[in-house]
Amino acid sequence: MSTRTYDPISPQRVAFLGLGVMGHPMAGHLARAGHQVTVYNRTRSKADAWVTEYGGHAASTPRDAVNGATLVFSCVGNDEDLRSVVLGEQGAFAGMAPGAVFVDHTTASAAVARELSAVALTQGLQFIDAPVSGGNLGAVNGALTVMCGGDPAAFARAQPVAMAYSKAVTLLGESGAGQLAKMVNQIAIAGLVQGLAEAIAFGEKAGLDMKAVLGVIGKGAAQSWQMDNRGPTMIEGRFDFGFAVDWMRKDLGLVLAEAQRNGARLPVTALVDQFYADVQAAGGRRWDTSSLITRLR
């Protein structure tokens, strides 16, 4: 396992594919760090807007975007979105120079990471699966946690550049290990958020001042990032903090599918996934994950 902090490095020519709520600020940090950045987005207007804000260049296809890049980063929606920007005549692999490294920040399946890593090797390329934790706020603040799987030498090339938008970039094993680690992360978060929602709902029913209660128990064993950052906003009924219920359900779908393959038993995770389905049905598809509490009020 390898972790290190950011050290200044020589500017490199890089590409970034996918400029959503995560990719847009992540690519921006690369530009601010002095790298020559070419971006691609399926909706061209978003790429043009990024160039207006940060400089650099926008390309019409992934293949054009990666021309001359030593490192290519991506952050798209799911397995099929990832295949669409990587494979095919206009995909990134078709335009990357031998020896270049593709770093994928999409939360996707471990299977697609292994698939694309194998394809990359046949073309003299390297593929690192590198899903992130920290949400939009972490991307904007350059404070993401990145979980990686792949070749150690390729990781060593990509890691110092990725530190432009990260607080930690860690290699956890072979191809697919990054995606599996992100699944562990989402399992832990699902249980924490549900527990916090139940605690707040219980305290409200009991007539307690829950802001005061969280202030007390947050100094003890119950303390967590979710309590510190989402407890007060749960109490206020504010659910606009970036990581949408739709995205969490996509991630938990990956988790539960992997559990079927490896035999892991995830009763709480499966239950919380259904609770998120209830939130979706109530119109909360774009609410953030702390909206679980709406089921209990």
Residue 247's CATH number: 1.10.1040.10
Candidate list 182, 205, 211, 219, residue with the active-site label: 182
Same domain (yes/no): 33, 170: yes
Q: Which of 158, 174, 190 is the last residue in one of the domains?
A: 174
Q: What is the pLDDT of residue 152?
A: 98
Which pair of tokens denotes residue 42? 């399926």
Residues 232 and 95 in one domain: no
Give me the domain span that covers residue 94.
Answer: 13-174
Q: Is the pLDDT of residue 8 over 90?
A: no
| Cα angle: 169, vertex 174, 176; to 5 degrees | 80
Cβ-contact 94, 124 below 8 angstroms: no
Given a contact cutoff of 8 angstroms between Cβ atoms, the answer to whether 149 and 128 are in contact is yes
Last residue of a domain, one of 137, 156, 174: 174
69 inside domain:
yes
Does the active-site annotation cover 219? no
- Are 168 and 24 within one domain? yes
Q: Are residues 202 and 160 located together in one domain of the fold?
A: no
**Is residue 70 in some structural domain?**
yes
Q: Are residues 101 and 200 in the same domain?
A: no
User: Does 161 lie in the same domain as 18?
Assistant: yes
Total of domains in the chain: 2
From 148, 174, 200, the end of a domain falls on 174
Does residue 1 form part of some domain?
no
77 within some domain: yes
Q: Are 11 and 36 in contact (CB under 8 A)?
A: yes
* Helix-helix angle 177-205:267-281, to 10 degrees: 70
- Whether pTM exceeds 0.75: yes
pLDDT reported for residue 10: 81
Whether 165 and 159 have beta carbons less than 8 Å apart is answered as no
**6 occurs within a structural domain:** no
In this model, does residue 248 exceed pLDDT 90? yes
Whole-number Å distance between alpha carbons of 284 and 271: 18
130 and 190, same structural domain? no
**Per-residue model confidence as pLDDT tens digits over 198-232:** 999 999 999 999 999 999 999 999 999 999 999 99
Is 10 or 232 the better-scoring residue by pLDDT? 232
